[in-house]
């Protein structure tokens, strides 16, 4: 997608208008799934998802991740509010997600509302609302394989708990023996903060919001797509005590991220006063992306 900043802002305004005009339609269909039917990649028939992971596992090399981190360390692409980013997200379809046919903004509010109903702290409700905003990477001309999908460490051997492990056969790093030992370029138990994860919306949003939120919120944002760790308990040999203590937050959050995806209808207009106040409590009006 080729858009100048001006074009992007015009498009954003159109999207915002469309959202406002369609608020009545933002109640959600209630087609319930059983919990074990979520993330069912094995029985998925979607060639789109398979092709997504073939590209993702082939292209996410250590060099690619390091260059993306440098590229996005400038924060000079857009100045926009959290609400602008939520509006932008509604034009994105996540090709990696077998469960989400709703708009991204409805997913954001559903995740947050489920956390709120269960009495969780305000920072966690806010985390639910914003956790996927890093997907605005699509508007910076990044392909989907560099934005969404499960994440995994690069620079060391691929654990077989990562989905579609066989696709790593095409990743150039597989031919570099240094990168294919259990620990690869990392010391044992060095902690996830010292590991390069495959690049996507988790790491990007973490860098954008890291000055505004408490450590638990940042940890959730940074690793919520690392399913091999928080769902399958893989890669414990790279984690330190801090990671071990934080894993409970990832596991708790994952229940809300996944199982809110087709819950009760929501009326975003009615919810706005609460969420406007919540966002203002933690963020300035404009942040750098
Ligand atoms: Fe996500
Ligand atoms: Fe999500």
Residue 243: per-residue pLDDT: 98
Distance 185 CA to ligand 2 centre (A): 30
How far, in Å, is the centroid of ligand 1 from the Cα of 225?
6
CA of 128 to the centre of ligand 1 (A): 10
Query: Which pLDDT score, from 0 to 100, does residue 259 have?
Result: 75
Task: Report which bound ligand comes closest to the CA of 112.
Answer: 2
Q: What is the pLDDT of residue 50?
A: 92
Residue 6 Cα, ligand 1 centroid: separation in angstroms?
A: 27
Residue 205 CA to ligand 1 center (angstroms) comes to: 10
Ligand 2 center from residue 132 Cα (angstroms): 5
The ligand placed nearest to the CA atom of residue 99 is 2
Closest CA relative to residue 258, chosen from 34, 61, 51: 34
Q: What are phi and psi of 92, to 5 degrees?
A: -100, 135
Q: What is the pLDDT along the chain (289 residues), one digit of tens a residue?
A: 334 444 444 344 434 333 332 322 233 333 445 555 666 666 655 888 999 999 999 999 999 999 999 999 999 999 999 999 999 988 887 778 766 567 899 999 999 999 999 999 999 999 999 999 999 999 999 999 999 999 999 999 999 999 999 999 999 999 999 999 999 999 999 999 999 999 999 999 999 999 999 999 999 999 999 999 999 999 999 999 999 999 999 999 999 998 776 666 789 999 999 999 999 999 999 999 9
Instruction: Say how far residue 26 (Cα) sits from the centre of its chain.
Output: 22
Across 120-188, the runs of DSSP E, i.e. the strands, are none
| CA gap 244, 92 in Å, rounded | 33
Q: Which residues surround ligand 2, an ion (CB under 5 A)?
A: 132, 257
Q: Dihedral through CA 48, CA 54, CA 60, CA 64, nearest 10?
A: -80
The confidence score (pLDDT) of residue 4 equals 45
Tell me the CA–centroid distance for residue 170 and ligand 1, in Å: 25
Phi, psi of 70 (to 5 degrees): -70, -45
Cβ atoms of 266 and 113 closer than 8 Å? yes
Taking the centre of ligand 2 as the mean of its atom positions, its distance from the CA of residue 220, in whole angstroms, is: 11
Cα–Cα distance between 52 and 35 in angstroms, integer? Answer: 24
Contact in structure between 136 and 285 (CB atoms under 8 Å) = no
């Amino acid at each position: 997608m080729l858009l100048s900043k001006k074009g992007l802002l015009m498009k954003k305004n159109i999207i915002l208008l469309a959202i406002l005009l369609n608020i009545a339609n933002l109640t959600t269909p209630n087609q319930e799934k059983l919990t074990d039917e979520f993330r069912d990649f094995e029985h998925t028939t979607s060639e789109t998802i398979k092709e997504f992971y073939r590209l993702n596992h082939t292209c996410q090399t250590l060099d690619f991740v390091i260059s993306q981190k440098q590229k996005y360390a400038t924060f000079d692409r857009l100045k926009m509010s959290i609400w602008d980013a939520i509006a932008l997200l509604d034009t994105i379809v996540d090709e990696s997600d077998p469960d989400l046919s709703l708009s991204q903004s409805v997913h954001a509010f559903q995740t947050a509302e489920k956390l709120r109903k269960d009495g969780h702290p305000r920072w966690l409700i806010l985390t639910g609302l914003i956790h996927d905003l890093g997907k605005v990477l699509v508007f910076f001309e990044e392909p989907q394989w560099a934005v969404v999908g499960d994440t995994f460490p690069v620079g060391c051997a691929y654990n077989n708990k990562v989905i579609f492990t066989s696709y790593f056969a095409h990743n150039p790093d597989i031919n570099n023996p240094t990168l294919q030992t259990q620990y690869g370029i990392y010391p044992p138990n060095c902690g996830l903060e010292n590991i390069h994860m495959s690049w996507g919306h988790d790491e990007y949003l973490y860098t954008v919001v890291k000055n505004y939120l408490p450590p638990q919120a940042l940890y959730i944002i940074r690793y919520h797509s690392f399913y091999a760790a928080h769902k399958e308990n893989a890669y414990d040999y790279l984690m330190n005590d801090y990671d071990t203590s934080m894993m409970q937050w990832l596991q708790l959050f994952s229940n809300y991220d996944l199982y809110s995806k087709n819950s009760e209808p929501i009326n975003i207009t009615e919810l706005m006063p609460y969420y406007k106040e919540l966002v203002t409590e933690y963020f300035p009006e404009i942040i750098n992306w």
